[in-house]
Amino acid sequence: MTQRQPTLVQSMIPILILLGLIMATVLGTGADALDGANQLSLLIASAVGAGIAVCNRVRWADIMQGMVHTISASLPAILILLMVGMLSGSWMISGVIPTMIYYGLDILRPDYFLPACVAISAAVSVATGSSWSTIATIGVALIGIGQALGFDLAMTAGAIISGAYFGDKVSPLSDTTNLASAVTGTDLFVHIRYMMQTTVPSILLTLAAFTVLTLTAGSGQTAGTEVDAFQDTIAATYRIHPLLLLIPAAVVFMIVKKIPAVPVLMIGALLAAGAAALFQRELLATLTPDGDLTLKSGYEVLTRSLYGTTAPHTGDPAVDDLLATGGMAGMLNTVWLIITAMVFGGVMEAGRFLERITNAILGRVRSTGGLVTTATGSCLLFNLTSGDQYMSIVVPGKMFIGAFRRNGLQPRLLSRTLEDSGTATSVLVPWNTCGATQASILGVPTLAYLPFAFFCWLSPVTTLIVAWAGWGIRKESPIPEKPADPA
């Protein structure tokens, strides 16, 4: 049987069902994206899409192959996520994160905390080229500092994510920066320089917004005596020592040296586990069943911090919540969400629904602004449907490069659009690998921090404004389509 092309209405049905179910879940129950309701929504929408595909004579084997392919593509992200769980647990029990929080409270004060979060996260992310590593290390410490200072966690998470994704966009070490330039055939540093036209205004507006928020959030900030009490509680539970800061410094050094993320995170976790045995013996004893630290019981506590729940008791419920970690097990809900998102993306790809939607949009594009708008919308669509930021860069990049060239537009305009719309917005989608991961790491739901992740949603807005205004856009002679080879 010949496979039938899906209609535009058929192609939109799974997306509309998914968005409707998720909206009903959020508005009706207020459920977090990781709790299970969104996973179920993704599977229901996938089933509907698969049913439509079968009606269009797509073989079930092809649908299954599409799902397996997309799940396989997400395995590196899942493995990194599990390593981040190990890192988080070991850094907490070893005193690395408590030490960063303790010293950070001496440096970061309420009157400039939120813009400082943006600046610190941006600096680390530019140096490492990784928003994920930045958020999993510096970001976790900044969340704790923000909680101690009395800032709303969603605001703090938005500041951290804004800074981290600024670095992810402009760092020559970033995988998405290299991917966007490569898929469009743009020189890496040409791509980075051209992005500054949209990235600099976005980050300046972000810093201005967080400066205003910091000044207007004064009534909710914790008094200095309470900050001192918070530090005293941490110091009473952990042995705070500056040598512990060598571990995050070593991790940052390895990332800068372009060592792959998985071994870096594993080494960072194991170094912290060793540091816990040296620096936190009293804490380890309190976490054993009978309070007696032996080689066996110490090993059990340390390994549990890597794979399971560890919850030191400080006597302060707020500090207890901050210091509790879930290890690799704490990331399993996020893994579950990523897998179901990949299932949905595989169905949409196998059924050729995404191809049909984008072709319909491209057929109506005439102007430069319209072409950039269409590419931006496609990046958002792939972030919503494929659940993976790499798909939102690669697929639209391949789809639109010909259209940009035919219209005399330089490839760097497309590469910038891919970064502004694909990289920056991936963290705003609860079921995207980025959104689900950062929500899990920071302990703040995606939809809670979304309004405060100013840089991430200002980036596509800025790129649209610049495109429609025609600023910095140089046209060249259009490159015609290559004639088809004779049969």
Could you give the CA distance from residue 286 to residue 424 in angstroms, rounded to a whole number?
43
Most confident range (mean pLDDT) of 133-137, 287-291, 417-421 is 417-421
Question: For residue 46, which of 247, 438, 460, 340 has the smallest C-alpha distance?
Answer: 340
Tell me what the mean pLDDT of segment 361-378 comes to: 84
Alpha helices in 238-316 (DSSP H): 246-256, 261-279, 281-286, 295-307
Q: Which residues contact 142 (CB under 8 A, 6 or more apart)?
A: 104, 108, 117, 120, 121, 156, 159, 160
This prediction's pTM: 0.72
What pLDDT score was predicted for residue 227?
A: 66
Give the model's confidence band at 487: pLDDT under 50 very low, under 70 low, under 90 confident, else very high: very low
Is residue 211 packed enough to be buried (19+ CB in 10 Å), middle (13-18) or exposed (0-12)?
A: middle
* pLDDT, tens only, 29-40: 655 555 677 788
What pLDDT score was predicted for residue 51?
A: 95
Tell me what the mean pLDDT of segment 17-23 comes to: 80
The answer to whether the CB of 387 falls within 8 A of the CB of 165 is: no
Query: How far from chain centre, in Å, is Cα 450?
Result: 12
Give the model's confidence band at 63: pLDDT under 50 very low, under 70 low, under 90 confident, else very high: very high
pLDDT at 91 over 70: yes
**Higher-confidence residue: 128 or 83?**
83
Taking the C-alpha atoms of 200, 203, 206 and 210 in order, what is their torsion angle to the nearest 10 degrees?
-120
The answer to whether the CB of 269 falls within 8 A of the CB of 302 is: no
pLDDT at 225 over 70: no
Could you give the CA distance from residue 303 to residue 46 in angstroms, rounded to a whole number?
38
Is residue 9 packed enough to be buried (19+ CB in 10 Å), middle (13-18) or exposed (0-12)?
A: exposed
The structure tokens 């938005």 sit at: 158
Q: In the beta sheet, which residues pair with residue 310?
A: 325
What pLDDT score was predicted for residue 261?
A: 76
In percent, how much of the chain has pLDDT > 90? 30
Give the model's confidence band at 331: pLDDT under 50 very low, under 70 low, under 90 confident, else very high: confident
The answer to whether the CB of 236 falls within 8 A of the CB of 316 is: no
The values of phi and psi at residue 435, to 5°, are: -60, -45
Q: What is the mean pLDDT of the chain?
A: 84
Q: In the beta sheet, which residues pair with residue 399?
A: none
Could you give the CA distance from residue 189 to residue 449 in angstroms, rounded to a whole number?
31
What pLDDT score was predicted for residue 460?
A: 95
pLDDT at 417 over 90: yes
The residue extents of the domains of the chain are 76-330
**Higher-confidence residue: 117 or 342?**
117
From residue 376, give the alpha-carbon distance in Å to each of 16, 317, 334, 373, 469. 19, 44, 27, 5, 16
Could you give the CA distance from residue 356 to residue 370 in angstroms, rounded to a whole number?
18
Tell me what the mean pLDDT of segment 86-97 comes to: 88
Tell me what the mean pLDDT of segment 151-169 comes to: 93
From residue 82, give the alpha-carbon distance in Å to each of 67, 289, 432. 22, 26, 16
Most confident range (mean pLDDT) of 149-163, 165-179, 241-255, 302-316 is 149-163
The answer to whether the CB of 470 falls within 8 A of the CB of 368 is: yes
What pLDDT score was predicted for residue 477?
A: 60
> What secondary structure letter does DSSP report for 351?
T
> What secondary structure letter does DSSP report for 362?
H
From residue 486, give the alpha-carbon distance in Å to each of 199, 482, 483. 45, 12, 9
